[in-house]
C-alpha cells in the first residue's frame, strides 16, 4: 500500500525520534483547480506547494513526512519529491486507493506514523512555520489533540467564494464544534458574506476558522478506525482497501465530522476527547482555483520581502 523513499539522512525506525510526524493529505483530484494542486508552483522560484509545506514543517520541529497520495496524481508527486526534496528529509508514501474521505486518508498513513503524535495538513495550503511550530510544541507538551485556527481574514487572498469551517471555542480553550460555511466572500468593509443560507449570513474578519491543521495523539487511531469501518466494513484497520468491489457505497468519512462526533461523545468507541484550539500566528494561504495562482504568488513574495518567511523552502526560517 505504501513505500519509503530512500534517504541519506537519519535512520528511519519509527519511535527512534520524538519529533512529531507530519501527514500531508495529497490524494485529492482538485477538480476546481483543474490540476495537481500539491505541485502548484507558488514559490519565488517556482517551488511547489508541498515544497513550502515540507520546508516550513522541518524548520518548525517536525520529523518524518508521510504523503498520502491518490492513484492518478501520485506518480507525479513521487517523482517531484525524489527530484526536489533534500535527501536529509525522510519521506514515506502511502496510497489512498479509493477516495473515501479525509478520515480514511489519515487512516491510510497509520503504518508509517507509528505510535507517536502527528499533525495532519492539506497539500494545497501554506500554513507557515510559526503555526506549525506552535502545534509541534503543543503535541510535545500535552496529551490533548489540537487544531490551529486562523482569523478568517488571514485565510482569504482572492475574490472567489470559498468554504471555511468556523470554530466555536469553549471558555476553557477547547473546541466545542466546527460549522462548515460555504460561499464565503470578502466585503469592502472587511467583513465576509456567507452564501449558504445559514445564520449569521455575515462573519467578522476575526472569526476563528479551521484550515485543517490538526494535531493528534495516538489515541485518535481507534476513533478513526471505528468511524471508517462503521461506514465501510471491508476496509482494513490500516486504511487499505483489499477489494474495492466489496465496498457497498462510496460515502466519504470526513475528518472534521469524526472529530466533531468525538468531542461530543458520539464517536463509535463512546469516549469523548478534548481538542485544544490554538490561535495560529500569521496567515494561511492556499490555492482553490487556478486563477488564484498569481495572487497567492504575490502574497508569498510579499511575505518574503517583509522577512516573514524564507526565500526558498529549504532556507533557514527568518
Q: Give the start-end residues of each E strand in 123-253.
A: 125-126, 145-151, 162-169, 175-186, 192-194, 202-203, 208-216
289 grid coordinates: 482555483
DSSP 268-299: TT-----EEEEE--S--EE-SSTTHHHHHHHH
- The H-or-E segment that residue 262 falls in is helix 255-263
Could you count the other beta carbons within 10 Å of the beta carbon of residue 93? Answer: 21
- Which band of pLDDT confidence, cut at 50, 70 and 90, is reported for residue 94? very high
Burial 188-202 (b: 16+ CB within 10 A, else e): eeebbebeeeeeeee
C-alpha cell at 134: 506552535
pLDDT in tens, 21-55: 999 999 986 666 657 889 999 999 999 999 999 99
Q: Is residue 103 predicted with pLDDT exceeding 70?
A: yes
pLDDT in tens, 272-306: 789 999 999 999 998 877 888 899 999 999 999 99
Percent of the chain beyond pLDDT 90?
Answer: 81
- The rounded mean pLDDT for the chain is 90
For the chain, the structural domain boundaries read 2-305
Answer whether residue 13 shows pLDDT above 50: no
Q: Are 283 and 155 in contact (CB under 8 A)?
A: yes
- Nearest alpha-carbon partner for 207 in 149, 152, 155: 152
Residue 14 has pLDDT above 50, yes or no: no
Take residue 267 and report the three cell numbers written for it.
Answer: 464517536
Answering whether pTM is above 0.85, one says yes
Considering only 6-15, 23-32, 147-156, which range has the smallest mean pLDDT? 6-15
Summarised one tens digit per residue, pLDDT across range 176-228 is: 999 999 999 999 999 999 999 999 999 999 999 999 999 999 999 999 999 99
Question: How many CB atoms neighbour CB 155 within 10 A?
Answer: 21
Q: In which band, very low, low, confident or very high, does the pLDDT at 160 lie, cut at 50, 70 and 90?
A: confident
Q: What is the pLDDT of residue 9?
A: 31
The CATH architecture of the domain made up of 2-305 is: Alpha-Beta Complex (3.90)
pLDDT confidence of residue 15:
40
Phi/psi at 182 (nearest 5 deg)? -110, 155
C-alpha separations of 99 from 47, 102, 122, 241 in Å: 27, 8, 15, 10
Rounded to an integer, what distance in angstroms lies between the CA atom of residue 5 and that of residue 161? 38
Cβ pair 84, 51 in contact under 8 A? yes
Amino acid at each position: 500500500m505504501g513505500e519509503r523513499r530512500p534517504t541519506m539522512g537519519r535512520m528511519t525506525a519509527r519511535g527512534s525520534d520524538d519529533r512529531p510526524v507530519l501527514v500531508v493529505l495529497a490524494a485529492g483530484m482538485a477538480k476546481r483547480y483543474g490540476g495537481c494542486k500539491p505541485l502548484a508552483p507558488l514559490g519565488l522560484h517556482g517551488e511547489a506547494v508541498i515544497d513550502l509545506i515540507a520546508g516550513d514543517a522541518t524548520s518548525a520541529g517536525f520529523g518524518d513526512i508521510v504523503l498520502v497520495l491518490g492513484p492518478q496524481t501520485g506518480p507525479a508527486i513521487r517523482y517531484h519529491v525524489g527530484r526536489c526534496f533534500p535527501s536529509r528529509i525522510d519521506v514515506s508514501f502511502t496510497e489512498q486507493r479509493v477516495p473515501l474521505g479525509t478520515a480514511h486518508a489519515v487512516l491510510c498513513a497509520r503504518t508509517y506514523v507509528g505510535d507517536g503524535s502527528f499533525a495532519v495538513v492539506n497539500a494545497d495550503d501554506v500554513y507557515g512555520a510559526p503555526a506549525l511550530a506552535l502545534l509541534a510544541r503543543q503535541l510535545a507538551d500535552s496529551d490533548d489533540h489540537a487544531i490551529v485556527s486562523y482569523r478568517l481574514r488571514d485565510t482569504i487572498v482572492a475574490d472567489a467564494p470559498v468554504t471555511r469551517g468556523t470554530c466555536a471555542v469553549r471558555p476553557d480553550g477547547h473546541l466545542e464544534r466546527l460549522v462548515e460555511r460555504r460561499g464565503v466572500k470578502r466585503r469592502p468593509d472587511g467583513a465576509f458574506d456567507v452564501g449558504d443560507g445559514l445564520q449569521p449570513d455575515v462573519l467578522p474578519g476575526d472569526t476563528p476558522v479551521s484550515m485543517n491543521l490538526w494535531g493528534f495523539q495516538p489515541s485518535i487511531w481507534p476513533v478513526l478506525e471505528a468511524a471508517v469501518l462503521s461506514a465501510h466494513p471491508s476496509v482494513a484497520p490500516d486504511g487499505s482497501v483489499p477489494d474495492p468491489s466489496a465496498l457497498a457505497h462510496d460515502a466519504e468519512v470526513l475528518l472534521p465530522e469524526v472529530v466533531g462526533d468525538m468531542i461530543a461523545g458520539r464517536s463509535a468507541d463512546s469516549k469523548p476527547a478534548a481538542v485544544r484550539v490554538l490561535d495560529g500566528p500569521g496567515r494561511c494561504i492556499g490555492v482553490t482555483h487556478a486563477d488564484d495562482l498569481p495572487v497567492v504568488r504575490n502574497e508569498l513574495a510579499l511575505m518574503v520581502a517583509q522577512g516573514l518567511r524564507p526565500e526558498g523552502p529549504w532556507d533557514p526560517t527568518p
